[in-house]
Amino acid sequence: MMPSAIQFRKNVLVTILVLFCNSIVAQMNPNIPALFDMCSPHGSAGTFFGKAIIDGNPAEEGDWIAAFDEDDNCAGASQLIVFNGEAYINLPIYGNDGTTPTEDEGMDPGENFYLKIYDASEDKYIIYPNDDFPYPYFDQWLNVNGAPIPAYADWNKEYDFSSTGIPYEVASTNTAGTFLGTATIDGVYLTEDDWIAAFDEGGNLAGATQLIVNNGVSYINLTIYGDDPYTTTVDEGINAGEKFYLQVYDASDHIYINYPNNDSTSLFEGWANMNGAPIPLYSNFNANYNFLQNSDYLVFLALENFCLSEACCAINTYLL
Ligand SMILES: [Ca+2]
Ligand SMILES: [Ca+2]
Ligand SMILES: [Ca+2]
Ligand SMILES: [Ca+2]
């Protein structure tokens, strides 16, 4: 037989084998989303239970969920289980395999994780958190040999994913003032996918928007809403005399950083209803607000007004 003919037969055989293997893999993992491709099961794990909600409705057949560690390494993926109209999460989250020191396959001791869902009908990935869950990471992973992780063992706990990707959901009212300035994190300007938000003293979201980048400078142009006195059960923003604080959301690092901080320790005062125009105290678009990644500053909120003891105040603080 001619060597080229042998080669041809070999190639055909290899091709058939590859196709055969691929079809087996495809059957094992039907429609696994591309971004979850690397989420292979291995070694130690703990399982995450719950229900997945997308924009207020249960996720659907064919949707997937995955967990990623702090370095964006996939630590596990699974298809959602749709039963009785609910989409259940049964997600094994794997540890980093110690026998492969050059590869990080998942969770290391003390490491946090975040969740990402794949909405198959929209062909879209959505990262948790959202406005209902203001801090990005889950910090209770444990290797329990595949058993449910105690902190995430509740089948009925709902996890709401927001498909808009907007980390904040603002309730606008008919009173507002605009806050102008520039924002930096540790002296570095932010990017256009980053956000800035304002919260009142009670931690109620009063406004949020993406930063505007011009010539590398990230500008704040933030509408901050007042509380609507007619909606007595909801506090949509700033009340008369109420102070506020700012927060940036760094989208690439999934981190939220508050201001004031160790360098600048006062809450913002002087909010005014300007019918949307700039608030006089915050009308300088060149004023810089530098957010510090490593700030352990504690802000005492309005409650300090009637807090007489330090212990009482300590209970009523928000870590910024
Ligand atoms: Ca490893
Ligand atoms: Ca890791
Ligand atoms: Ca209200
Ligand atoms: Ca308020």
> Is 308 a domain residue?
yes
One domain, residues 186 and 147: no
Instruction: Report pLDDT digits (tens) over 14-43.
Output: 333 333 333 333 334 567 898 898 888 888
One domain, residues 186 and 82: no
The rounded distance, in Å, linking the Cα atoms of 260 and 245 is: 7
One domain, residues 147 and 205: no
Domain boundary pick from 106, 135, 161: 161
One domain, residues 184 and 294: yes
User: What is residue 138's three-state secondary structure?
Assistant: strand
The rounded distance, in Å, linking the Cα atoms of 220 and 212 is: 7
pLDDT of 132 strictly over 80:
no
One domain, residues 109 and 213: no
What's the CA-to-centroid distance between 234 and ligand 4, angstroms? 9
One domain, residues 226 and 299: yes
* Confidence at residue 302, expressed as pLDDT on a 0 to 100 scale: 34
Task: Provide mean pLDDT across the span 157-173.
Answer: 81
One domain, residues 229 and 139: no
The rounded percent of the chain whose pLDDT value lies above 90 is: 57
Among 29-43, 53-67, 92-106, 257-271, which stretch is predicted with the lowest mean pLDDT? 29-43
Tell me which range, 116-130, 133-147, 210-224, is most confidently predicted by mean pLDDT.
Answer: 210-224
One domain, residues 45 and 150: yes
Instruction: Report pLDDT digits (tens) over 202-247.
Output: 889 999 999 999 999 999 999 999 999 999 999 999 999 999 999 9
- CATH for 120: 2.60.40
- Nearest ligand to the C-alpha of residue 102? 1
Which DSSP helix (H) or strand (E) runs through 210? Answer: strand 205-210
- Nearest ligand to the C-alpha of residue 232? 3
More confident residue, 208 or 254: 208
> Is 202 a domain residue?
yes
Which structure tokens are listed for 159? 């996890």
Torsion angle in degrees (nearest 10) through CA of 167, 181, 222, 136:
10
Which structure tokens are listed for 226? 């007042």
pLDDT tier, 166 (very low <50, low <70, confident <90, very high otherwise): low
| Number of domains into which the chain is organized | 2
> Is 209 a domain residue?
yes
> Is 1 a domain residue?
no
Phi, psi of 152 (to 5 degrees): -125, 40
pLDDT of 8 strictly over 80:
no
One domain, residues 77 and 157: yes
* Confidence at residue 64, expressed as pLDDT on a 0 to 100 scale: 97
- Nearest ligand to the C-alpha of residue 238? 4
Q: Which domain holds residue 128?
A: 34-161
> Is 7 a domain residue?
no
> Is 10 a domain residue?
no
What's the CA-to-centroid distance between 248 and ligand 2, angstroms? 25
- Around ion ligand 1, which residues have CB less than 5 A away? 96-97, 100, 103
Task: Provide mean pLDDT across the span 95-117.
Answer: 92
The rounded distance, in Å, linking the Cα atoms of 233 and 230 is: 9
> Is 91 a domain residue?
yes
Domain boundary pick from 136, 161, 186: 161
The rounded distance, in Å, linking the Cα atoms of 245 and 102 is: 42
pLDDT of 167 strictly over 90:
no
What's the CA-to-centroid distance between 306 and ligand 3, angstroms? 22
102-118 burial, b if ≥16 CB within 10 A, otherwise e?
eebbbbbeebebbbbbb
One domain, residues 140 and 255: no
One domain, residues 183 and 293: yes
User: What is residue 22's three-state secondary structure?
Assistant: helix
Domain boundary pick from 161, 188, 209: 161
The rounded distance, in Å, linking the Cα atoms of 289 and 268 is: 12
Which DSSP helix (H) or strand (E) runs through 117? Answer: strand 113-119
One domain, residues 140 and 194: no
What's the CA-to-centroid distance between 200 and ligand 4, angstroms? 5
What's the CA-to-centroid distance between 108 and ligand 2, angstroms? 5
Which structure tokens are listed for 315? 């209970």
Task: Provide mean pLDDT across the span 62-88.
Answer: 95
pLDDT tier, 9 (very low <50, low <70, confident <90, very high otherwise): low
> Is 25 a domain residue?
no
pLDDT of 273 strictly over 90:
yes
